[in-house]
Amino acid sequence: MAKVRTRIAPSPTGDPHVGTAYIALFNRCFARQHEGEFILRIEDTDQTRSTARSEQDILKALRWLGLDWHEGPDVGGPHGPYRQSQRSDIYRAHIEVLLENGQAFCCFCTAERLDALRVSQTENRQTPGYDGHCLLLSEQEVQKKRAEKQPYVVRMKVPEEGDCVFTDRLRGEIRIAWEQIDMQVLMKSDHLPTYHFANVVDDHLMEITHVIRGEEWINSTPKHLLLYQHFGWQPPQFCHMPLLRNPDKSKLSKRKNPTSISYYKDMGYLPEALINYLGMMGWTMPDGREKFSIEEMQSAFDIDRVSLGGPVFDVEKLDWLNGKYIRENLDVEDFVAAFSQWAFDPVRISRIIPLLKDRVERLSDVIPLAGFFLSGLLPVSDADFKHKQLTSDDCKKILQLTVWQLEQLPEWSREGVEQLCQTLSQFLDIRIRETLFPLFIAITGKAVSTSVIDAMFILGLDVSRARLRHAIDILGGVSKKEAKDLERVLRELENYVRPVQA
Ligand code: GLU
């Protein structure tokens, strides 16, 4: 039997997500248990959303959790490059094969035509999808348009009737009617591949034997299988893992729960505890024990015992497990090492100290001023938000609008955070001092402190957001109706143009 090779294929378009680590963990366990190999591939085909920063953060976060890989963009390997943006020639050569064999076709439809098509399909309650318009073009017409350099995409042909039937390792037989499958764009007009195409070509060329990924990809699998068939390649085994859920069973989302691995690192969780907790998602050890190391999980692992009931990512349970690790696994010396590493991260400290240096007379003044940087959620109460000019609703409004606006910052920078606060103050017509008041309490725990803008910038989006949300909860939370009203205000704020200052 071929050597087992699995992979994690993150798209570097945001924070390192706990869901990525969860899928990576199961892939790595499965590969290692079979003495196989686990690969990391960066799927950055979406050039507008992918960033080098996100890629670095993902690699760093996975390594922090102890999830290393045999081959990848940073360690190399015999099947490289491992970043899809560097494999364009490979995809282009492969798309030509499909075009020559008539399994894919050039589509010259304009965005306007496709929009109109979508509108009419929606109006007629049809499943939106491409209608095959360009399939009717003759070979000569296609050649002529290509020679004239008319923009086009390449789409895959899809059977018109019948079902795609495949076996999922955990779910058994899955049947999806071909009529539900769109004539997927495989190559965009900029000649870069889409996820579906690059993913299949790479899984084949990288000799992936088992595709273990989230269940959100089940409906894409027919497209993938069709590509394997067109190329005459042996498809890998598919295994779709259950998605992580919030305690209310909805899909895990950062609106309800922190999802970034960096958040858990910044809050002082131990990587061993977090990875253990992720191992409990859909998996239980045969003897039922809840505390286990990644190696122990690997030796006992049996993918066929993964349970499909939506695993709940519950921060309270993680807290319990993390506490257990701290008590049982760390002696004083280990604790000192773990704590120092967490608290005195050189990058963080070198950002904090300039804020304090000119405000202290003794080194012992530092901690009372900067303690909030070295904390998780702060012990604030609703009385702390009492203010002469602001009601508790004003405070909630400022806090909620700030959370939403911070989430939308295209890049995390001090200037960005500052601009956002200034704009909010002008938009609400509340002086900046007052606007910043609830933020000071939520972020620093005090009405007077070092700059709250610097503080949010240094604490980062995840921790800032968690503290702002915690403050909103302390003020009684935002009801459904209040949220609706605030969303309206947010839309006005988004369209608000700050008057130019003289
Ligand atoms: N790039 C995809 C993602 O971000 C990979 C999906 C797959 O594993 O096929 O989830």
**Would the CATH topology of 5-73+244-321 be identical to that of 87-241?**
yes
| pLDDT averaged over every residue in the chain | 95
Nearest CA to ligand 1 atom 3: 10
Give the pLDDT band of residue 500 (cuts 50, 70, 90).
Answer: low
| pLDDT score, position 78 | 98
| pLDDT score, position 253 | 85
Longest dimension (CA), the chain: 82
Ligand 1 atom with minimal separation from the 8 CA: 8
Q: What number of other Cβ atoms are within 10 A of residue 220's Cβ?
A: 17
Domain 373-501 maps to which CATH number in 3.40.50.1970, 1.10.10.350, 1.20.59.10, 3.40.190.10?
1.10.10.350
Amino acid at 395: C
Instruction: Tell me how far the alpha carbon of residue 98 is from its chain's centroid.
Output: 32
pTM of the model as a whole: 0.91
pLDDT at position 257 over 90: no
Q: 471-496 burial, b for 16+ CB within 10 Å, e for fewer?
A: bbebbeebeeeeeeebeeebeebeee
Per cent of the chain over pLDDT 90 is: 91
| Mean pLDDT across 352-360 | 93
| Mean pLDDT across 308-327 | 96
pLDDT tens figures, 218-250 = 999 999 999 999 999 999 999 999 999 999 999
pLDDT tens figures, 154-166 = 999 999 999 999 9
Rounded to the nearest 10°, the torsion over CA 282, 286, 291, 292 is: -90
Q: How far is the CA of 41 from the centre of ligand 1 (A)?
A: 10
Q: How far is the CA of 243 from the centre of ligand 1 (A)?
A: 13
Is residue 157 part of the annotated active site? The answer reads no
Domain ranges of the chain: 5-73+244-321, 87-241, 373-501
Pick from 5, 11, 220 the residue to mutate for probing ligand 1's pocket: most ligand atoms within 8 Å of its CB.
11
Ligand 1 atom with minimal separation from the 7 CA: 8
Q: In this structure, what token pair is assigned to residue 158?
A: 């899809």
Q: How far is the CA of 83 from the centre of ligand 1 (A)?
A: 13
Per cent of the chain over pLDDT 70 is: 99
3-state DSSP call for residue 105?
Answer: strand
Nearest CA to ligand 1 atom 10: 10
For domain 87-241, give the CATH superfamily.
Answer: HUPs (3.40.50.620)
| CB 209, CB 238: distance < 8 Å | no
Given the residues 60, 157, 188, 254, select the one marked as catalytic: 254
Instruction: Tell me how far the alpha carbon of residue 88 is from its chain's centroid.
Output: 24
Q: How far is the CA of 239 from the centre of ligand 1 (A)?
A: 13
* CB within 8 Å of 301: residues ≥ 6 apart: 29, 30, 33, 283
* Residues at CB less than 6 angstroms from ligand 1: 9-11, 43, 195, 199, 213, 217
Q: Which 8-state DSSP code applies to residue 193? A: B
| CB 438, CB 428: distance < 8 Å | no
| pLDDT score, position 255 | 77
Pick from 217, 219, 241, 252 the residue to mutate for probing ligand 1's pocket: most ligand atoms within 8 Å of its CB.
217
| pLDDT score, position 348 | 87
pLDDT tens figures, 68-120 = 999 999 999 999 999 999 999 999 999 999 999 999 999 999 999 999 999 99
Ligand 1 atom with minimal separation from the 11 CA: 4
Taking the C-alpha atoms of residue 369 and residue 341, their distance in angstroms, rounded to an integer, is 20
- 5-73+244-321 carries CATH number 3.40.50.620: yes
| Mean pLDDT across 284-301 | 96
Q: How far is the CA of 475 from the centre of ligand 1 (A)?
A: 39
Average the pLDDT over each of 15-29, 375-389, 393-407, 487-501 and give the range with the smallest value: 487-501
| pLDDT score, position 313 | 96
HEC string of 236-261 equals CEEEEECCCECCCCCECCCCCCCCEH
